[in-house]
Every structure is written in C-alpha cells, then in structure tokens.
C-alpha cells in the first residue's frame, strides 16, 4: 500500500473571509465619506461662483450707469433708484421681491427686467443718494458732489445644506462734476 502525503486544503477560512470583508467595508465607508465631502465642497464652490458672477454683473451695470449719470438727476425714492445716463435715457433700478430689476427709458411705466439669476436670492437691497442738493452757502464751497451708496445682502442655494451667503457694498459718484 502506498501512503500518499497529506494534502493541504487551499483557500480561506470563514474567519479570514469575514475579517477581510469587515476591513474592506471600513475602508469603503471612509472613502465614500471623503468623496461626498468633496462633492459637497464642489457644489458650494459652484453656488459661490454663481452668486459672485451675478453680483459682479449687477454691480458693474449699476456703477457704470451711476458713474456716467448726469449728477443732478440722481434720486432714490422708496425702493427705486433713478438717474439719467450719458445718452439721455432714464434708467431705474429696483428690488422686486428677491431680485434686482432694471428699466431703461420707461421709469414707472417701463418694462423691468431682472439683472441677476433666479438662483441668487436678494434679502436686502439698499441704496441711497447723499449730498445731491445744491448748497447755496458759498462758505461751504457752494456745491456737493452726489454719492450713491449701494448695499446688497443675499444668498445662492442649491440645497438647504449647500448655501453661500454674501454681503456687498460700494459707494459710487458720477464722473461729471456738478458745479
């Protein structure tokens, strides 16, 4: 009789399999958490970029019109800022619910168009014209150059967790001297 050497069974034991699955699950859970954090950060960056691009366009539009305005035509009334631009057109900016709108040539009867995206929500839009009155007292230099103060507060939001808030303010005066 020939005795064969004892063969070893090749493979993994049940304990080795359970241990490897547990380690794989832990590594996968940690990796997915990091991936979801990166995705959320990317979305937050996109909302912030959206908000900044919209605000940049709105502020550039308003400051350009204000810098080239006829100084004596600057006025703020209620929730509207009106002026006459260098082309002689009447321009009106206003807040309507959660957006900033602009009208050219029409004033109160004109058609207002939004100048920011619907994805950007404006909570506070304040503007005010200061020093727009002529001062008749020659001892105080006779004239004051008007300045317009603009303050915008709001947010851009994709989901309740991903929200970018902002506050922007500037002061603008016309380039033409009103003397």
The verdict on residue 10 lying in a domain is: no
DSSP assignment string, 66-133:
HHTS-GGG-EEETTEEEEE-TTS-EEEEEEETTEEEEEES-GGGSPPEESS-TTEEEEEEEEEEES-S
- Number of domains observed in the structure of the chain: 1
The verdict on residue 60 lying in a domain is: yes
The verdict on residue 119 lying in a domain is: yes
Query: How confident is the model over 48-70, as pLDDT tens digits?
Result: 888 889 889 989 989 999 888 88
Domain, as residue range, for 99:
16-172
- Reading the block at residue 70, the tokens are 């006829």
Whole-prediction pTM: 0.69
What backbone phi and psi angles, to 5 degrees, belong to 52? -65, -40
Q: What is the mean pLDDT of the chain?
A: 82
């Amino acid at each position: 009789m020939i005795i064969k050497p004892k063969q070893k069974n090749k493979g993994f034991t049940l304990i080795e399999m359970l241990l490897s699955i547990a380690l794989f699950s832990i590594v996968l859970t940690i990796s997915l958490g990091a991936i979801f954090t990166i995705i959320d950060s990317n979305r937050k960056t996109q909302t912030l970029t959206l908000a900044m691009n919209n605000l940049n366009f709105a502020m550039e539009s308003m400051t350009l019109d204000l810098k080239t305005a006829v100084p004596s035509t600057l006025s703020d009334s209620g929730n509207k800022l009106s002026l006459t631009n260098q082309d002689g057109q009447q321009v009106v900016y206003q807040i309507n619910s959660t957006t900033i709108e602009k009208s050219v040539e029409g004033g109160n009867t004109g058609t207002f168009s939004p100048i920011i995206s619907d994805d950007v929500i404006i909570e506070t839009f304040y503007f005010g014209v200061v020093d727009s009155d002529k001062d008749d007292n020659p001892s105080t230099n006779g004239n004051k150059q008007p300045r317009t103060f603009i303050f915008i507060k709001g947010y851009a939001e994709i989901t309740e967790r991903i929200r970018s808030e902002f506050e922007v303010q500037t002061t603008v005066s016309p380039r033409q001297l009103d003397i």
